[in-house]
Amino acid sequence: MVFDWQEEWNISFAGCGFRSIYYVGALSCILERVPQLVHGASKICGASSGCLVAAALTVGIPIELCVAILTAAKEARKHTLGVFHPTFSLLRTLQVTLLDKLPEDAHLRASGKLCVSLTRMVDGQNVLVSEFASREDLIQVLMCSCFFPAYSGFTAPSYQGVRYMDGALSNNVPLCEQRNTIIVAPFSGESDICPREGTYNFFEASYGNVSIQVNTGNVHRICTSFLPQKPETLAEICYNGYKDALRFLRERGEFFI
């Protein structure tokens, strides 16, 4: 993308399961070096786990996000079948975390700033939500966007009487069509902040508007997105996010000074 400080800009986080810890590293770099890039964004968007990152930024709790991801992964790893163990519910864990971490005025902070991608169950159409009447509504929207059928359970959550599922299934990077949207994803491809592969890629696929190169690195990243990783692996993913964000800032140094 060609960045322009004179225009409004957005940041969009792709859904990526447990690999969302990548965003913690990327954001640590940006907030340390060019905080205005986050604080001055018109919209902060996300789908699936990416919307949790976006929400954490808009309501002012980015550090708690890191703890929540590590806690969820640790809890899942306690069970033999991980997230598929009958006594573990990823959606319930998410709900408890949101109820505990989101401030009482979270919906006021998020309205107009946060943009969440949802997929309507009845017809598979994408819906973007940016206004939240209450804290409860905000929590329901986030849970809807994170519900992946079978993986998260078998009964989809609802928002305003309508059932929704994972926003990544219909639009994984909200507002990606706008020229001044910075796309962040933990899969190598054409996103603004993403991993770089050392070899040339002839093939590229698109998942919910996210550009993903067809290579062994991405196959591993996608498969492990659904599996809770060891703390040391999560730390490595987080560090890679920091490095990739730093490269993005350096490559566009004429803007970020």
12, 28, 166, 188: the active-site residue: 166
Strand 210-213 and strand 204-207: pairing?
A: antiparallel
DSSP 150: T
Q: Which residues contact 127 (CB under 8 A, 6 or more apart)?
A: 117, 118, 119, 120, 164
Burial of residue 68, with CB atoms counted within 10 A of its CB: 0-12 exposed, 13-18 middle, 19 or more buried: buried
Report d(CA 165, CA 143) in Å as an integer: 9
166 annotated active-site: yes
Question: Residues 45, 23: contact at Cβ < 8 Å?
Answer: no
12, 28, 48, 152: the active-site residue: 48
Please work out, in degrees rounded to the nearest 5, the angle formed at the alpha carbon of residue 18 by the alpha carbons of 140 and 116.
35
4 annotated active-site: no
Catalytic residues: 48, 166
